[in-house]
Amino acid sequence: MVKKYYIITHGCQMNVHDSETIAGILESLGFVPSSEEKTADLIIINTCSVRETAENKVFTKIGELRKLKRENPDLVIGVGGCIPQQEKVAKQLMARFPHLDFVFGTHNLPELPKILEKVFEKHERVLEVWQSEGQIVEGVPVKREPGVRAWVTIMYGCNNFCTYCIVPYVRGRERSRKKEDIIEEIRQLVLEGYREVTLLGQNVNSYGKDLTGKPMFAELLADIDKIEGLWRVRFTTSHPRDLTDDVIDVMASSEKICEHIHLPVQAGSNRILKAMHRGYTREYYLDLVQKIRAKIANVSFTTDIIVGFPGETEDDFRQTLDLVRQVRYDSAFTFVYNKRSGTPAAEMANQVPEDVKSRRIQELIELQNAISLELNKKEEGKIFEVLVEGKSKTNESKLAGRTRTNKLVVFSGSEEFIGRLIKVKITEGKLFHLEGEIA
């Protein structure tokens, strides 16, 4: 009988893309997707460890799956991703949950077929997490979401060790894919009908530093820009410290690279930036934003901000608000600092009380929402080229797509427009999207 799989994914785009690889591997082994957990023969949870609270939720979820396993003893349950990449936690998982069949990490994802063979054929429980990165494996099957947009990893890992962040510990050191492999993958995607790619990496501006010949990120972008049949290129995430002029210049002169930069600032006070180990000052960051605005017309900015980092005073926080007012981000992901054990900041003495953190984040969200709405209102009456992705998720009778600046546009139109570039006139700017009509 054909076996069905169900994948639960947490975390960042990197993990979402890893789940596409897990699905690709499973389908190459003959598994088919299941529309719900209950009917699956194999459930895999692809986890995120960036916040400790999220980690606890995963533990609860695994506990809950025990019930399904009682009803169906043949059900196989696996946990992968960033949580088990912490050796201690992987062992805890195996010990605490006897109904868990296998645990794997981010580094040994391509080994999944071997692990599954042990589990399904030899009925073994398997704990297999590599502590070091290993070679990049090319040619692993990927099952992508159908549509016009695809995600392409250009580098793995992170060398930055921001003091609050677990990612470098669970994703290992920076490793870049060869330029030719990336270009070839994108060419193939274009043949399959994809029109937009988002290049993924924790720090894309470090691309190539570990490769022979040291191809730069700007070079990679320039080469991708030449790929025929591709319409749009995006990338994430840019570390402000490493975003060089040549990248800005390529963005400005290219045809396909979209006018949007996700530029996580994290904090607006130099003292906190230093304690975070971010490697730039607020003045440097503000200059960088100005420089980008001067070279790229109508560029949009988004960011990540943490409030309540250990030692953050009211004055430090005011400086974050002030920076947000100066930059005027189109939107921002805002986070309450979460004490992540295993990172240096978790050991810092002056942790900020929870009630202070919640008040600060409320204030920050209110400010950012006011700015987002104002900026979206300013788009009213303008005409944008929208790449139509599909039906709107909130209103099935409408279509949804994005501007080059990465704003979501919802409008009425024929389903034939899906996958095409359509001119849309904005009728109303809302907080998180724009309403429009075909121009």
Residue 299 Rama label (left phi>0; alpha psi -120 to 50; beta): beta
Counting Cα atoms < 13 Å in the Cβ hemisphere of 174 gives 18
Distance of CA 398 to the CA centre of its chain: 26
User: In DSSP terms, which residues pair with 428 in a beta bridge?
Assistant: 435
Closest separation in Å from C-beta 288 to ligand SF4: 16
Cβ pair 5, 40 in contact under 8 A:
yes
> Rounded to 10 degrees, what is the CA torsion of 259, 265, 269, 274?
-130
> Which part of the chain contacts ligand F3S (CB under 6 A), choosing from 12-20, 185-193, 253-261, 409-417?
12-20
Member of 5, 6, 7, 15 binding ligand F3S (CB under 6 A): 15
Closest separation in Å from C-beta 343 to ligand F3S: 11
- 165 annotated ligand-binding residue: yes
Q: Does residue 86 belong to the site contacting ligand SF4 (CB under 6 A)? A: no
Closest separation in Å from C-beta 271 to ligand SAH: 18
Backbone angles phi, psi at 429, to 5 degrees: -90, 120
Nearer to ligand SAH, 51 or 420 (CB): 51
Closest separation in Å from C-beta 370 to ligand SF4: 26
- 258 annotated ligand-binding residue: no
Choose the contact partner of 48 out of ligand SF4, ligand F3S, ligand SAH, none; CB within 5 to 8 A by kind: ligand F3S
For residue 114 the two structure tokens come to 């071997």
Nearer to ligand SAH, 237 or 368 (CB): 237
- 12 annotated ligand-binding residue: yes
Counting Cα atoms < 13 Å in the Cβ hemisphere of 3 gives 17
Q: Which residue has the tokens 């139509």?
A: 388
Member of 62, 288, 306, 371 binding ligand SAH (CB under 6 A): 306
Closest separation in Å from C-beta 327 to ligand F3S: 23
Cβ pair 203, 236 in contact under 8 A:
no
Residue 212's contacts (CB-CB under 8 Å, 6 or more residues apart) are none
- 82 annotated ligand-binding residue: yes
Q: How far apart are CA 136 and CA 139, in angstroms?
A: 10
> How far lies 88's CA from each of 92, 164, 250, 261, 394, in Å?
6, 19, 44, 37, 41
Residues 169-208 that bind ligand SF4 (CB under 6 A): 202-203
Q: Does residue 170 belong to the site contacting ligand F3S (CB under 6 A)? A: yes
How many residues touch ligand SF4 (CB under 6 A)?
10
Closest CA to 81 of 45, 42, 133, 37: 45
Choose the contact partner of 256 out of ligand F3S, ligand SF4, ligand SAH, none; CB within 5 to 8 A by kind: none
- 158 annotated ligand-binding residue: yes
Cβ pair 257, 217 in contact under 8 A:
no
> Which part of the chain contacts ligand SAH (CB under 6 A), choosing from 34-42, 86-94, 127-135, 163-171?
163-171
Q: How far apart are CA 329 and CA 131, in angstroms?
A: 38
Member of 19, 49, 343, 368 binding ligand F3S (CB under 6 A): 49
For 156, the enclosing helix (H) or strand (E) is strand 155-156
Member of 26, 65, 167, 296 binding ligand SAH (CB under 6 A): 167
Nearer to ligand SAH, 9 or 392 (CB): 9
Q: Does residue 304 belong to the site contacting ligand SAH (CB under 6 A)? A: yes
> Which part of the chain contacts ligand F3S (CB under 6 A), choosing from 25-33, 44-52, 241-249, 352-360?
44-52
Residue 29's contacts (CB-CB under 8 Å, 6 or more residues apart) are 113, 116
Member of 37, 161, 362, 383 binding ligand SF4 (CB under 6 A): 161
> Which part of the chain contacts ligand F3S (CB under 6 A), choosing from 35-43, 116-124, 166-174, 337-345?
166-174
The DSSP code sequence of 56-81 is HHHHHHHHHHHHHHHH-TT-EEEEEE
Cβ pair 108, 129 in contact under 8 A:
yes
Q: Does residue 167 belong to the site contacting ligand SF4 (CB under 6 A)? A: yes
Binding-site residues for [4Fe-4S] cluster sit at: 12, 48, 82, 158, 162, 165
Contact residues toward ligand F3S (CB under 6 A) are: 11-12, 14-15, 48-50, 82, 166-167, 170-171
Contact residues toward ligand SF4 (CB under 6 A) are: 158, 160-162, 165, 167-168, 202-203, 239
Contact residues toward ligand SAH (CB under 6 A) are: 12, 50-51, 164-165, 167, 202, 237, 239, 264, 266, 304, 306, 335, 337-338, 340
